[in-house]
Amino acid sequence: MPDDWLPPNTITKGLWERTQDVIAEPALFFKADGTVFWANPASLSFFGVDVNDLLGRHCYEMVRRFGLNFSDCPYKRVLESKSQESGMMEYAGKWHINRVDPVLGADGELQGAISRILDAGDSVRLRETTEQLNHLMEATDNAVVMTGSDHSIVSWNKGAERIFGYPAEEVQGTFIHDLMPIASRNEFAAYVNRVTNEDAMMQFTIPFLKKNGDGMPVSVSLSPLHDPGGAVSGMITLSRDVTQEHGIDMRLVQYLADTTVKIKGPLSHMRINLEETITAMQEGILTIEELMMVLNLQMKTTSLIEENLSNLNHAAIDNIEEVPEKFRKYLSL
Q: Which residues contact 192 (CB under 8 A, 6 or more apart)?
A: 151, 222, 235
Other beta carbons within 10 angstroms of residue 145's beta carbon come to 25
Q: Which residues contact 70 (CB under 8 A, 6 or more apart)?
A: 63, 87, 88, 89, 90, 98
Least Cα distance to 118 among 229, 25, 21 occurs for 25
DSSP sequence for 274-321:
HHHHHHHHHHT---HHHHHHHHHHHHHHHHHHHHHHHHHHHHHHHH-T
The answer to whether 106 and 5 have CB atoms below 8 angstroms apart is no
Least Cα distance to 88 among 72, 65, 68, 67 occurs for 72
The answer to whether 158 and 143 have CB atoms below 8 angstroms apart is no
For 98, 99, 132, 157, 161, the CA distances from 140, given in Å and listed in that order, are: 35, 36, 12, 9, 12
Least Cα distance to 216 among 206, 227, 201, 230 occurs for 206
Residue type, 239: S
Instruction: Collapse the DSSP code of 161 into the 3-class scheme (helix H, G, I; strand E, B; otherwise coil) and give the result.
Output: helix
Q: Which residues contact 170 (CB under 8 A, 6 or more apart)?
A: none
Q: What is the pLDDT of residue 100?
A: 92
- Report, in this order, helix, strand and coil percent for the chain, each rounded to 5: 50, 25, 25
Residue 95 bridge partners (DSSP): 90
Q: What is the pLDDT of residue 1?
A: 47
Q: What is the pLDDT of residue 155?
A: 87
What distance separates the 2 farthest-apart alpha carbons in the chain? 130
Q: What is the pLDDT of residue 210?
A: 93
Q: What is the pLDDT of residue 105?
A: 84
Task: Please give the chain's pLDDT, 333 residues, in tens.
Answer: 444 544 444 444 454 555 566 677 899 999 888 899 888 889 999 999 998 899 999 988 998 899 998 877 888 888 889 999 988 888 888 888 888 999 888 888 888 899 988 876 655 555 665 566 666 667 678 899 989 888 899 889 999 999 999 999 999 889 998 999 999 999 999 999 998 888 888 999 999 999 999 999 999 999 988 876 778 888 889 998 888 766 555 666 566 666 666 677 777 777 787 788 888 878 888 788 887 887 788 788 777 777 777 776 666 556 656 555 655 555 555
What are phi and psi for residue 13, nearest 5 degrees?
-60, -45
Rg (CA), the chain: 38
